[in-house]
């Protein structure tokens, strides 16, 4: 065998090993990043849940003491509860990514819908301009229609894959 052939073979094995090691490192780092994001989402969700419980206690106190605006406190509670909706969806998406499964685009649409609904609740509770709510309502309905279309398209895609 020629020396150049041996050098080429060794160099080729070296590059292949380096490639495999780098891929393993990147896959591990990817998993670590998503684990970190999942932990952050859990911590934020716990914080919002504690905030919700705190406001529930305040709502109950104002309810029994007949002090304060009960309707605005109820709207505030709904606004806080709606914060948990996208966080739970993002956490589910992180779990799916860690399992190696694809995630749906509906998660991002859900975040937009929940943001619009929360804005409607907060604007109503704070006594803001009612015309501003019309924009949020149009956005929420538009996103809901888009979500229905995306879910239907995903259903058709799954149905097509099952028939193959």
Question: What pLDDT score does 141 carry?
Answer: 93
Q: Report DSSP letters for 28-69, one per residue.
A: HHHHHHHHHHHHHHHHHHHHHHHHHHHHHHHHHHHHHHT-S-
Which residue ranges in the chain fall short of pLDDT 70? 1, 68, 164
- In the block, tokens 């080729």 appear at 12
Q: What is the pLDDT of residues 139-161, one digit of tens each?
A: 999 999 999 999 999 899 888 88
pLDDT score, position 1: 59
The whole-angstrom separation of Cα 50 and Cα 73 is 16
| Whole-number CA gyration radius for the chain | 25
Instruction: Measure the CA–CA gap between 30 and 35, rounded to whole angstroms.
Output: 9
| Predicted local distance difference test score (pLDDT) of residue 146 | 94
Domain boundaries, the chain: 40-163
Whole-angstrom CA distances from 152 to 50, 60, 148, 159 are 36, 42, 6, 10
- Residue pLDDT, tens place only, 11-27: 888 888 888 888 889 88
First to last CA, the chain: 51
- Give all strands (DSSP E) within the chain, no chain letters: none
pLDDT of residue 70: 74
């Amino acid at each position: 065998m020629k020396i150049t052939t041996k050098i080429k073979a060794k160099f080729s094995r070296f590059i292949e090993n380096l490639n495999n090691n780098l891929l393993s490192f990147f896959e591990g780092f990817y998993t670590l990043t998503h684990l970190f994001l999942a932990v952050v989402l859990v911590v934020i969700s716990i914080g919002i849940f504690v905030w919700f419980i705190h406001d529930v206690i305040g709502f109950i106190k104002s309810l029994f003491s007949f002090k304060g605006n009960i309707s605005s406190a109820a709207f505030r509670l709904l606004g806080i509860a709606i914060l948990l909706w996208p966080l739970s969806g993002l956490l589910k998406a992180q779990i799916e990514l860690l399992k190696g499964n694809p995630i749906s685009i509906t998660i991002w649409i859900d975040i937009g819908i929940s943001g619009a609904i929360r804005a409607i609740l907060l604007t109503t509770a704070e006594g803001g301009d009612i015309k501003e709510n019309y924009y949020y309502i149009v956005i929420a309905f538009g996103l809901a229609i888009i979500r229905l279309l995306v879910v239907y398209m995903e259903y058709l895609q799954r149905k097509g894959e099952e028939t193959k």
